[in-house]
Amino acid sequence: MGHSPSIAELAAKRTAFNDYLKTLESQLDQKAAGTERALQDLITNTYKTGGWHHQVYIKGQKTEFMLSSDWSLNNVKKIIGAIGKAMFGNSKDMPNGINIEAETEKMGAAIKGMANLELYMTAKVFDVLSGVIESFGSSSSLTYHTEVKTEPLGNGFRLFAAISADSFKSNEFFKSDSISEYMYTFEVHFSEQEASQQASIMITKLYEDQITAFVQKSEDLLRRCHVV
């Protein structure tokens, strides 16, 4: 569970606030149960359609909180950066909730063939989250939003992600502020059959294009916020 700076300060000082965050996390987890099922259905149907064998490379679930007064492009980047670290931390010291599976010989060879796999996977996470942030992150209304998505990564790897977001108010802890909660579940799978059908991908260029698109979306959103 991650927090923006203001949230972290409140949680450290007040046990009641920390309990409140746990309650919000549990509520969103229950509300998003259908989204989690949809993600698993997407994984099953994706490989069933092609008749491909597949195995999990890495998977996990994380939750992040942010106060509306903390919302900024830099803080959004910090949240997404934390996701990247969670996905690609040292396999011997993975964060709670993140699991990396043992590599098979075929998978290991595919990984070595993608020197910038980490950059590209992180860029895809940017893409999924930026859509949620654009539609929800600065909204003054309390709106539940969810999205399920899959993207091929090349060399037989494929990203599956589910993002759920909601916003809450509490007169007990803050007067005019609201708290936004983002819960994301991701799985990266490997399929030897899919690898044989994927053309080579220019990983670095795709990463740069993805970051450019994300920054543009975020800047457009910030401009709209200032106008309001």
Of residues 45, 191, 194, the one with CA closest to residue 104: 191
Q: Which two tokens stand for residue 3?
A: 């927090």
What is the secondary structure of 130-191 as a DSSP string?
A: HHHIIIIIT-SS---EEEEEEEEEETTEEEEEEEEEEEE--TTT-SS--EEEEEEEEEEEE-
pTM for this prediction: 0.68
Residue 32 to residues 38, 177, 184, Cα–Cα distance (Å): 10, 24, 10
pLDDT in tens, 20-47: 888 888 888 888 889 999 999 999 999 9
Query: How far apart are the C-alpha atoms of 106 and 51, rounded to whole Å?
Result: 18
- Using the CB atoms, write b or e for 171-188: b if 16+ within 10 Å: eebbeeebbbbbbbbbbb
For 48-106, what is each residue's pLDDT tens digit? 987 899 999 888 887 878 777 776 666 666 666 666 665 555 444 455 555 555 555 55
Please tell me the total number of residues recorded for the chain in this structure: 228
Residue type, 221: L
